[in-house]
Structure 1
Amino acid sequence: MATQTQLLQAIANNQGNYGGSSFGEFMRTKPPTFATAEEPMDAEDWLRIIEKKITLVRVREADKVIFAANQLDGPAGDRWDTYKEAREEDAGEPNWEEFTTAFLDNFVPAAVMRMKKNEFRRLWQGNTTVQEYLNRFTQLARYATRDLADEEEKIDKFIKGLNDELRGPMIRQDHDSFQSLINKVVRLENDRKVVEHNRKRRLTMNRPPQTAPQRPKGTTSSAWRPTVVTTSRPTASSNFHRPVTIQNRAPAPNQATTGSVRPESCFNCGEYGHFANKCPHPNKTPIRTGANATAIHGTATPAAGRDLFRTPQTNRTATGFGRGQVNHVRAEEA
């Protein structure tokens, strides 16, 4: 590298003796540097730009490789140094043809070129726009120049890769040039987008509006919530976990049967109009069991059991079986 730098300096100082352009004039054209390439064509583009700038400033044939190699950086510069060291000592300095061949072999391999060519042959539009498809078509066409011998083959290949709704109208037309084809297919794509947009807008306008549930008067939007009614079913057939519905419904007066007690009647005598604590018949002793009470007419004996849940025992020998009464108590009264 030091020898190469000294040589470039000598060329710049003694340019008048060579009859060609100086290294300073070449650098004023701002030639790009090259380190590595993600796409093979990036390396080929760099080489093409360097050739144009060398021709522009009329660089001598002996100086072309020196000027171009000075723009190699990073991995590309290391590869060029390795290539030069592997050459025979008496081979002399490499010329421009040797430089371009070695550069393309390292950064534009033939295997990658074949892959790109096959990718171009399988290219189709898919979900991309016409402009995106055109950009990819132009990029990959450089790897398959022999497949596009003339303008007609280029037009046929581009139409073949279009989507069905665009390919059909383009096949039925004549195209003067490739650019004429591009203009027609771009206009057709735009017209289809406008038609589709108008169709969706009409569907939206014709759709009935969705009404929200009405809010009661006097309530704010933050405090009001619509009533949600949910129903549930028992998951098992067993009656153990089945919910029991209690209906608080008092029977009508004319529906009373023998032995029943009307609501709010006396627990002692069963008559309507007073309670047990003011009953005019104190000889009837009420016995209460749980929340309900059963009035037993006759002489009562001590009850078996304990607490509220006890069974009344009557003197059956003296009075016989007593008559029981069941009181219906509403949930509000309980």
Structure 2
Amino acid sequence: METLQSHGGVSRDMEVRGADIFEHFLRLRPPTFGVAPDPVQAEHWLSRIAKMMGPLECTDSQRVTLAVYLLEGEAENWWSSVQRGVPAGYACTWAGFRAKFLEKYFPRSCRSTKIAQFLKLEQGNMTVPHYEAKFDELSRYMPKAFEDKEYKLEKFKEGLKPGIQSRLCTWDFGDFPELVDKAMRVEKDFERTIRSRLLTRDAPFRLRQPPPTPPVPVGRPRPLVA
């Protein structure tokens, strides 16, 4: 009997804990998901709610429950059809839900496109901070960029403008933030050099400019005093 009571107490504690997590999660105002015309929006939605769940210390099944609660419209109907094909008593894991969701709304063809964009990415006309943001956005689809630190560093350097890249070739970087910081410093040095050259080039022209003409007085002239 004591064992049954103990189990019952644990069960009730879990129910209370689950209700607290649910209320806390809703206070974060998580976005719902119905349908996304752009597959990237679907992938971003899943990443966003997963981030929201992180501090809540959810169990695997609670994560699935919270995510399913946010589905609406077409997405809700899709998940209901998925569940109808699941054997009785089978509980979907978070990894299983994530895999099925991405298979439906972010298929492999989209991931392949993002990987191709990452492999071709170059700084071009972007500033280093903008290039870094784009690099981070696309590197999420390239597992090697996370697993191999040296590959990530070399790939980022290869995409930089030639002038910046040449200044960094003799440096050894311990991590990615250090590389980005140095690239930004080099870019600022180039900008200061260009501004200095422009000022030096325009200085003789400014010296040759005639002095400004004094303004013409406006109004009626004063009468001369006899």
Partners in 2 of 1:158 and 1:64 — Cα distance? 35
Q: Secondary structure at the match of 1:207?
A: helix
Note if contact 1:33-1:73 (Cα within 8 Å) is conserved in structure 2. no
Shift of 1:95: 1.6
Shift of 1:47: 5.2
Shift of 1:204: 2.1
Q: List gaps (5 residues or longer) in structure 1.
A: 1-13, 222-334
Q: List gaps (5 residues or longer) in structure 2.
A: 1-7, 219-226
Q: Of 150, 164, 172, which residue of structure 2 is paired with 1:174?
A: 172
Post-superposition Cα deviations, 1:263-311, rounded to whole Å, max 9, x if no partner, equal: xxxxxxxxxxxxxxxxxxxxxxxxxxxxxxxxxxxxxxxxxxxxxxxxx
Where does residue 205 of structure 1 map in the other structure?
A: 203
Shift of 1:127: 0.2
Partners in 2 of 1:92 and 1:132 — Cα distance? 49
Shift of 1:25: 3.0
Note if contact 1:137-1:158 (Cα within 8 Å) is conserved in structure 2. yes
Q: Which is higher, the Rg of structure 1 or of structure 2?
A: 1
CA separation of 1:15 and 1:196: change in aligned 2, threshold 3 A: farther
Post-superposition Cα deviations, 1:161-183, rounded to whole Å, max 9, x if no partner, equal: 00111011111222222222112
Partners in 2 of 1:100 and 1:220 — Cα distance? 77
Partners in 2 of 1:181 and 1:74 — Cα distance? 45
Residue identity in the other structure for 2:67: A
Partners in 2 of 1:67 and 1:211 — Cα distance? 74
- TM value normalised by structure 2: 0.73
Partners in 2 of 1:32 and 1:47 — Cα distance? 6
- Structure ranking higher on relative contact order (CA contacts 8 Å, 6+ apart): 2
Residue identity in the other structure for 2:173: H
Q: Secondary structure at the match of 1:22?
A: helix
Residue identity in the other structure for 2:47: D
Shift of 1:101: 2.5
Task: Indicate the RMSD between aligned Cα atoms, in angstroms.
Answer: 3.1
Q: Of 5, 23, 31, which residue of structure 2 is paired with 1:27?
A: 23
Q: Of 42, 45, 51, which residue of structure 1 is paired with 2:44?
A: 42
Q: Of 147, 150, 153, which residue of structure 2 is paired with 1:149?
A: 147
Note if contact 2:31-2:45 (Cα within 8 Å) is conserved in structure 1. no
Where does residue 67 of structure 1 map in the other structure?
A: 66
Partners in 1 of 2:162 and 2:9 — Cα distance? 62
CA separation of 1:105 and 1:43: change in aligned 2, threshold 3 A: farther
Partners in 2 of 1:60 and 1:144 — Cα distance? 26
Note if contact 2:146-2:152 (Cα within 8 Å) is conserved in structure 1. yes
Q: Of 14, 17, 21, which residue of structure 1 is paired with 2:11?
A: 17
- TM value normalised by structure 1: 0.51
Q: Secondary structure at the match of 1:172?
A: coil
Aligned residues: 198
Partners in 2 of 1:65 and 1:180 — Cα distance? 38
Larger helix percent: 2
Partners in 2 of 1:196 and 1:91 — Cα distance? 70
CA separation of 1:135 and 1:95: change in aligned 2, threshold 3 A: same
